[in-house]
Amino acid sequence: MGQCCCSPCKRFLPSSMIEFSGTAAAEAIMNEESLLENNIPQVHSINPEMSAPSIRVANDLGNEVKGYGLALTDVSVEQESCYWEWRVRTGGNPTVTVMVGVSNRRNSKFYEILASSSVPPEQHGTKFMCTASDLKDGDVIGIVVQQSELPMIQLYVNGEIEDGLQVTRFRGTVYPSIYLPQKGSNNDVSATFLYREEQYVHGPPGPQFHPLIAERSLM
């Protein structure tokens, strides 16, 4: 006496309460799934389809690039404020010069057209990028983006702000990008895209600059 199983009790509950309980359970499940998804580490890589044909992905993680020309990543910059880094390897050269920043979406046709034009290679899609010169092996370039303030992009080298290395504004959907020079016969200059907090060498200049998040994760 005094005990009942779930199904008989359920018969005496108002239908609206039963429906509410079902909705609440469904929402709880969705919230739990969303929490689990948000806890999954972001995984980004170099996008060969948007990069120059002379660019190649150099590791299994997909975040190291070699060759020469323009390379774009597969994640667009959607956040108000964000930060990422590039670690540069000179490939045996004393120093190298690269360009970093953001670039609009590219495709193979873009590179085909420019290959037959008089536009210098370093101007192929690098409008929203800055030149970082005299980099030594292992130097790290930090890129700070703040879309509601000027400049929109500011560069740091080995944790120190570089005056003059900034992009005032950019437009459209953009992707983190780097331009590697054609240096020597083997073109062993490389760069690694560091986009998660545990990967950072130096980290952002302030807590408001978060790691890159894929667009669908912001929904």
- Give per-10-residue mean pLDDT for the chain (219 aa): 44 41 48 47 92 94 94 96 97 93 95 88 88 96 94 96 93 95 74 97 96 70
Looking at residue 6, its pLDDT comes to 44
What integer pLDDT is reported at residue 20 of this predicted model? 38
pLDDT of residue 115: 86
* Stated pTM of the model: 0.79
Give whole-number Cα distances, 162 to 7, 132, 133, 167, 197, in Å: 69, 9, 11, 12, 22
| C-alpha to C-alpha distance for 70 and 134, rounded to whole angstroms | 19
pLDDT value, residue 39: 58
Q: In this predicted structure, what is the pLDDT of residue 187?
A: 67
Whether a cis peptide bond, with omega within 30° of 0, leads into 41 is: no
**pLDDT for the residue 7:** 42
